Amino acid sequence: MENWVIIKIAGKQYKVAEGDTIEVDKLGKEKGPISFDEVLLVKKDNGLAIGKPLVDKAKVKGQILEDFKGKKIRVVKFKSKSRYLRIRGHRQSRTKVLIEKIIS
């Protein structure tokens, strides 16, 4: 059985395990170690710990690997029958994080 947790980063929830690499919205921090304290759920071999709203004394330690831009999307504004069409592109800034250790 694999141990995993659900953590909250910048208002979004991610299911992670040790050794996972995740992409999150840009954190605005330099490369190096980072700790996430908002742990919502912990799954271990011996059971499940659900936070109300957070699990006590649980942390996730990781490493910021890089900042990058995500895949380009097209944003289209269109109005029918009036010959109005505007197309713009957008690339979201992202951060790649390696999950090193789960402390619970």
Task: Give the residues across from 79 on adjacent strands.
Answer: 84
Q: Locate 81 and state its tokens.
A: 């029958």
Q: Is the pTM of this model over 0.85?
A: no
Burial level of 95, CB count in 10 A (0-12/13-18/19+)?
A: buried
- The one-digit pLDDT tens for each residue of the chain (104 residues) are 488 999 999 999 999 999 999 999 999 999 999 999 999 999 988 888 898 999 999 999 999 999 999 999 999 999 999 999 999 999 999 999 999 999 98
Distance CA(61)–CA(73), nearest Å, equals 32
Which regions of 45-82 does DSSP assign to beta strands (E)?
47-50, 59-79
Q: pLDDT tens-digit profile of 73-100?
A: 999 999 999 999 999 999 999 999 999 9
